[in-house]
Structure 1
Amino acid sequence: MSSNDLLSAKRNNGETNIEWIKRMIEDEQICSIDHSEFGDPVHVRYGGSGVVTRAQWKKRNKEIILKQIVPYESALAKSENQELAKELKAFHSIKDSLTSEIGRNNVIEFLGVSINKGNFFLVLEYADLGNLRDYLMLNKTLDWERRINIVRQVTCGLYFLHKNEILHRDLHIGNVVIKSDKNSKFDIKVLITDFGVSKVITRQSVSSQAIKGCITFMDPFILNALTATYGEKYNYPSDIYSLGMTMYAISNDKLLADENIPVIELVKKINGIRENPMADSTQSYVDLYTKCMDDDPNNRPTIEYVYDSIHKEEIISGKKWGETIQSQ
């Protein structure tokens, strides 16, 4: 089967999650890595999409990330089945795509799967400099060109996902990681991670007065829809809104907490006024992320438009936003 067949790979009646995974391995949709090949595990974090551990892949002498997704004993719901299939499909698209394809190197590399003591793990490449939120906190003196370099790489990663018909649905500065890379500009490679298996916001989470995920980066249109209907309306413009918020955070050092937020705070967010941009931002940059965060999803640009715009020289060297304000 091709990677595109993953989305049509339905569970058999009574098939548990682990049985589904094993069948995907048998069908050569995903490769299995013996868990005994990993050593020196170090807990990284707990997250909405599972437990994350760093380990040494002894056979290849490299550090990797083990991301626990699905408990062994529970059965996958239909929606969870599809979400797992989407992530695996995305990883296959990365593996099968040409090295020169835009954004291929800005999405986390999938190395395989591993099963240990009834737990299922994705085996992913390790980003030694941590997530973007932590990186920005430790590097608050980054100049404008270095910040734009980060934004451009994030945009490339999202471009790749959208071109492969994959929605991220939870893009924020905690789901972007940084890796040392002497072959990349400014010696870093920026990678998008945690796509596909990001949990759908449920009716239960709304009714319990809290919604999981990084709400600040979420499309207000989605929040309004969720509050009204407990449903979901994620689409490409929703990802574009999150990209705009990510652009805003990178340029402003406005590192927003990734935590559960009470519904009353969501109302303030939905109805609130966005803060002014930093004076050092270029006008073209402010205009771009403002378009991405338009209240009407239909007015937001496509990822192709954002990609073309963010790579223009005026984004770095154009008129400053502060200069524009002062001249008025």
Structure 2
Amino acid sequence: MEQAGEACCSAEETFTNDYKMMMTLGQGQFSEVKWAFHIPTVSCVAVKILRNQKKYASLINSEISVMKSLAHPNIIKLLHVVQTRETTYLVMEHASEGDLLHHVLELGALEESKAPRLFTQILHAVKYCHDNLIIHRDIKANNILLDHRGNVKLSDFGLSTKVIPGQKLGDFCGTLHYCAPELFGKEAYDGHATDIWSLGMLLFLMVAGHFPFNAYSSVRVIQQILTADFRVPSHVSVDIRDLILKLLMINPYRRPTIGQIMRFP
């Protein structure tokens, strides 16, 4: 035990000597993401700092396992993992242009000449996950990062899970405004279809500049989600409007797969 403790301290010491923390990029329930400078390689990285609490152990281990299995140009890359007694550090590539939500809020809505390119890259990332039996479960504008070339990097696999073909999920997770109707029911659901719904919410936000369901209370938002009570703004092109309507079908079995979405105009 003493040797393990010494090794743990050594890992922490090496980590703090090699990385200089610069500023906080984001904060979650039990984690924090910082922009950091890797001194030996003179490069910028993002470091997700997770507190090793027993109730979060399975989530941390799942996130590490999923991220280690991913290798795609539109998915944020895990570079290094350092685990100490109290903290787990996930060192990832840094997407210098921030998240998609910031860009949408800044512009009000993305130009339709730009939105399809970004959405297509997001589709490629999610298709790769689904092809490898991974459900993201938290697709949202905050988790879509942009690199210095303006290319998409899907991030934050803290809620993701690996499934076997045909497996249904039963737990509720995600961010309210992106949650599919079936998440509020009692029956097990298809995780692929809930990711598709989240993509529909994301596309709507990208081209409209606001959420389709934007009531003042959570209860009312849930009611709007359950009835798909929304209207696509008139300035949105017919092709994108039709795709949004297909993605946001209440019946999950009527939503298209990623492959079918990619064949849309």
Shorter-chain TM-score tier: 0.7 to 0.9
- Answer whether contact 2:213 2:229 (CA < 8 A) is retained: no
Task: Give the aligned partner of residue 57 of structure 1.
Answer: 38
AA in 2 matched with 1:289: I
TM-score by length of 2: 0.80
CA distance in 1, matches of 2:85, 2:44: 21
Question: Which runs of 5 or more structure 1 residues have no equivalent in the other structure?
Answer: 1-17, 23-32, 96-103, 182-187, 200-205, 313-328
- Separation in structure 1 between the aligned mates of residue 20 and residue 132 of structure 2, nearest angstrom: 34
Q: Which residue of 1 aligns with 2:224?
A: 269
Distance 1:276 1:267, change over 3 A: closer
Is residue 2:194 matched to residue 1:242?
no
Offset of 1:132 from its aligned partner? 0.8
Deviation at 1:141, TM superposition (A): 6.6
Q: Deviations over 1:188-234 (max 9, x none)?
A: 111111124469xxxxxx9xxxx985211110111233xxx8xx645
Q: Which residue of 2 aligns with 1:47?
A: 28
Equivalent residues in 2 for 1:1-328, closer than 5 Å: 34-48=15-29, 50-71=31-52, 74-75=53-54, 80-81=57-58, 83-95=59-71, 104-115=72-83, 118-140=86-108, 142-181=110-149, 188-197=150-159, 213-225=174-186, 233=189, 235-254=191-210, 264-309=219-264, 312=265
Q: Distance in 2 between matches of 1:70 and 1:170?
A: 20
Alignment RMSD (CA, Å):
3.1
Residues 222 and 234 in structure 1, CA contact (< 8 A), matched pair in contact too: no
The letter of the residue matching 1:190 is V
1:295–1:255 distance in 2 versus 1, CA, 3 Å: closer
In 2: Cα distance, 1:262 partner to 1:107 partner: 33
| 141 and 264 in structure 1: CA distance in 2 versus 1, 3 angstrom threshold | closer
In the TM superposition, residue 54 of structure 1 has moved relative to its aligned partner by 1.0
Q: In the superposition, relative to structure 1, how do residues 112 and 143 fare at CA in structure 2: closer, same or farther (>3 Å)? A: same
The count of corresponding residues between Structure 1 and Structure 2 is 245
Judging changes above 3 Å, is the alpha-carbon distance between structure 1 residues 303 and 196 closer, same or farther for their aligned structure 2 residues? farther
Do the aligned partners of residues 293 and 126 (structure 1) sit closer, same or farther apart at CA in structure 2, a change above 3 Å counting? same
Q: Equivalents in 2 of 1:257, 1:53: separation in Å?
A: 31
Q: Secondary structure at the match of 2:232?
A: coil
Asked if structure 2 preserves the Cα contact closer than 8 Å seen for 1:49 and 1:194, the reply is no
Q: Structure 2 CA distance, aligned partners of 1:61 and 1:55?
A: 10
**Kept in 2: contact 1:241–1:292 (CA 8 A):** yes
Distance 1:253 1:246, change over 3 A: same
Counterpart code for 1:194? D
| CA–CA distance in structure 1, aligned partners of residues 123 and 70 of structure 2 | 16
Tell me, in whole angstroms, the C-alpha distance in 1 between the residues paired with 2:109 and 2:228.
27
- Against the structure 1 CA distance between its residues 257 and 297, is the aligned structure 2 distance closer, same or farther, given a 3 Å change threshold? closer
Give me the whole-angstrom Cα distance separating, in 1, the residues matched to 2:40 and 2:115: 36
CA contact (8 A) 1:244 1:292 kept: yes
What SS does structure 2 have at the residue aligned with 1:171?
coil
Matched to 2:54, the amino acid is A
CA–CA distance in structure 1, aligned partners of residues 47 and 233 of structure 2 = 38
- Report the CA distance shift for 1:213/1:234 in structure 2 as closer, same or farther (over 3 A): same
Give structure 2 stretches of 5+ with no counterpart: 9-13, 162-170
Specify whether residues 118 and 36 from structure 1 end up closer, same or farther in structure 2 by C-alpha distance, changes over 3 A only: farther
SS at match of 1:144: coil
Share of identical aligned residues, percent? Answer: 19
In the alignment, the residues of structure 2 paired with residue 45 and residue 257 of structure 1 have an alpha-carbon distance, to the nearest angstrom, of 24
